[in-house]
Structure 1
Amino acid sequence: MQIVATFEHTVFLEMALSQLKERGISDLFALPLDNRTEERRLLDTLHYSDGATLMGKGMVLAALLSVVGASRGFELEWGPVYWGLIGGASGFVTGVAIDLFIHKVAKKKRRLLKGKRSEVILIINCGETDAAWIEPLLWEHLALGLAKME
């Protein structure tokens, strides 16, 4: 039987490994995952989308400012059509700039403050009798996930 568990790379993982070795389980394999080194893409493609968009606030501001520009355009020299287009374009550019700032600066700081670390995958080969006490031991040491394969 194999037990596969994921852990954060913390002291709890080391404690679980030492307790497993003390109880005679020597057939284990711990594999640390690498952290992402490249930045996430800002522009989505047809086959890749992470759910974040840069155009949400831009579209809302474009609609609002085009209405305001068109209504004020009746009093201005160029007329409502041109001022509506100018308001829409300036609202879209402002919204995209706000979203770009949020994604590049604010969320990057939040990611760095969180301190996201890579996980460790632990694979244990054991018998069915050992699996009865190994599973609770791994949960006690804050395993993120656990699976058993026979």
Structure 2
Amino acid sequence: MATELRPDLVVMDVKMPKMDGISAAEKLHHGRIAPVLLLTAFSQKELVERASEAGVVAYIVKPFTPADLLPAVEIALSRGAELRALEAEVADMSERFETRKIVDIAKGILNEKMGLTEPEAFRWIQKASMDRRLTMKDVALTIIDQLGAKQS
């Protein structure tokens, strides 16, 4: 159900009929579906550690009052937002790193085939990117495809 609805937060008990809450939390965490706040009557250290390893963002022990639950929900929502922001940042950094590697390969090809220095090759790719309204990565991939394939 959470997979289809994509909630901001899943609140569930450790003890559930078909699957224990920690296993369910782990699936939700690994699938990047939603952060999980786990409710339980158990506070054993091993259970808390297992929940933490499964990606649970908040853990509240029964019995609790509504006043106890609200801060836990707020913290869980905040942690979930932080995790999403970090994942987005990592994805962006990975993409920039990949682009940089591709541009570096293209600069090497321009150096070898056209005799351009590293700064000249970078500027050439940058200008071609602006002139053609393409990303630098796309220009670099074209250079690699067109000029790099002719290497012998």
* TM class, shorter-length: under 0.3
The structure where helix makes up a greater share of residues is 2
Q: Which is richer in strand? A: 1
Choose 1 or 2 for highest CA Rg.
1
Question: RCO (CA 8 Å, sep 6+): is it higher in 1 or 2?
Answer: 1
Taking structure 1 as the reference length, the TM-score comes to: 0.27
